[in-house]
Copies of this chain bind each other. A is one copy, B any other.
């Protein structure tokens, strides 16, 4: 993080671009304020230097903080995940892109239009407008950068590539489709509304017109049973609860998710790595399988979500339990048994998707937008390797898409998304 010495009152004041021009006495053409000077953000698109979290906004997730939003944030009902390729030719242009995005992301997370300027109807609307009238709906926006970004010579980022950011190995039964794989940058927009999530990506991409293209994207959803006013663990399309064993609390998150000082390259401190997998669930095959087999496949009871042989969702898995014949109660080829062998933990933050029918087969194009966060993608790789060819779940799923992204640490007020990367020499 850069040290900034900024008049806090100035930072707190929302100013229009017009006011700013008066203040600085320069014309639009001459507009340039060094990020190092103010530690600030000046966007050619947004009209303000700094935008605050609007803490009075309804259903608001905070933008500023030690970590990015959309990771420890309580999982929402909707995701729109986009993997972008960049068209910019220099590190500086890339830096400007993230600076430009910063106030836009904040505005949208405030439930506001991306621009507070009065709309001139002779030009295209600044905000595409479909989220107008909707509140923030707990929108979170998470930015990450992929391996391919560091491999672009013209960007000169090669020396900044974290050692942890590597292509995933080919796993048994992977059938990755290039149309759902990779990307230079990812934007994970999650909200309790599909239109708000889509709107966020659409407006960020539009504001970066000519600088990025969408390589692939996927919408997804979660449906939460509510008991006594409290959201319960959602079920995936195989009807099993997904996310029961996630880390929680600061200690857990620091152990599993947040990069600690010295654990990765310095600019990733307080950041994390995102793994996304577009996993087709073969619903037709699953639906022909007996309940017993289904439960033995996951290692849990379907209805309660409890470990096999136990009663309640949050009862301990205690994987070593055996029956009177000395056989494991949770089968050795079950998803959870094998995953436990990896001795690795991740934070799952997945959504379901249903995208119509696969034309050639008539099967549902439906499944899981699997998203996990971990301080090192190796944690995911370990688990996936432990599942290997043995995982009973393999019969019912195919991984069709994949991505690994280094997610920056959070943004301090007066800073911008990714500053740690750009400020590293």
A329 CA to B80 CA, complexed, in Å: 39
Q: What's the nearest-Cβ distance from chain B to residue A398, in Å?
A: 17
B206 contacts A287, C-beta separation under 8 Å: yes
Please provide the chain A residues from 138 to 187 with a CB less than 8 Å away from any CB of chain B in the complex: 179
| Tier of interface size on chain A | 35 or more
A232 contacts B133, C-beta separation under 8 Å: yes
Which residues on the B side are within 8 Å of A132 (C-beta)?
A: 225, 235, 239, 303
B295 contacts A121, C-beta separation under 8 Å: yes
A122 contacts B80, C-beta separation under 8 Å: no
A129 contacts B289, C-beta separation under 8 Å: no
Residue from the list B123, B221, B227, B303 in contact with A195, Cβ < 8 A:
B221
Which residues on the B side are within 8 Å of A222 (C-beta)?
A: 195
Which residues on the B side are within 8 Å of A359 (C-beta)?
A: 179
A237 CA to B366 CA, complexed, in Å: 23
B236 contacts A292, C-beta separation under 8 Å: no
Instruction: Please tell me which stretch of A12-20, A95-103, A212-220, A380-388 contacts chain B, meaning at least 4 of its Cβ atoms lie within 8 angstroms of it.
Output: A212-220
Which residues on the B side are within 8 Å of A122 (C-beta)?
A: 290-292
Among residues of B, the one whose C-beta sits closest to the C-beta of A363 is B214
Q: A73 on the interface (CB 8 Å rule)?
A: no
Instruction: Please tell me which stretch of A252-260, A266-274, A320-328, A350-358 contacts chain B, meaning at least 4 of its Cβ atoms lie within 8 angstroms of it.
Output: A350-358
Which of A131, A216, A294, A357 has most B Cβ within 10 Å?
A: A357
Q: A67 on the interface (CB 8 Å rule)?
A: no
Which residues on the B side are within 8 Å of A236 (C-beta)?
A: 130
Q: What's the nearest-Cβ distance from chain B to residue A129, in Å?
A: 3
Q: A362 on the interface (CB 8 Å rule)?
A: yes
Q: A4 on the interface (CB 8 Å rule)?
A: no
Which residues on the B side are within 8 Å of A196 (C-beta)?
A: 223
A206 CA to B285 CA, complexed, in Å: 11
Please provide the chain A residues from 197 to 248 with a CB less than 8 Å away from any CB of chain B in the complex: 198, 202, 206, 213-219, 221-223, 225, 227, 232, 235-239
A302 contacts B125, C-beta separation under 8 Å: yes
Q: A2 on the interface (CB 8 Å rule)?
A: no
Residue from the list B134, B216, B223, B291 in contact with A357, Cβ < 8 A:
B216
Which residues on the B side are within 8 Å of A355 (C-beta)?
A: 219, 355-356
A89 CA to B121 CA, complexed, in Å: 59
Q: A119 on the interface (CB 8 Å rule)?
A: yes
Q: What's the nearest-Cβ distance from chain B to residue A396, in Å?
A: 13
Measured CB to CB, the residues of A under 8 A from B are 80, 119-125, 128-134, 179, 193-196, 198, 202, 206, 213-219, 221-223, 225, 227, 232, 235-239, 283, 287-292, 294-295, 302-303, 352, 354-357, 359, 362, 364, 366
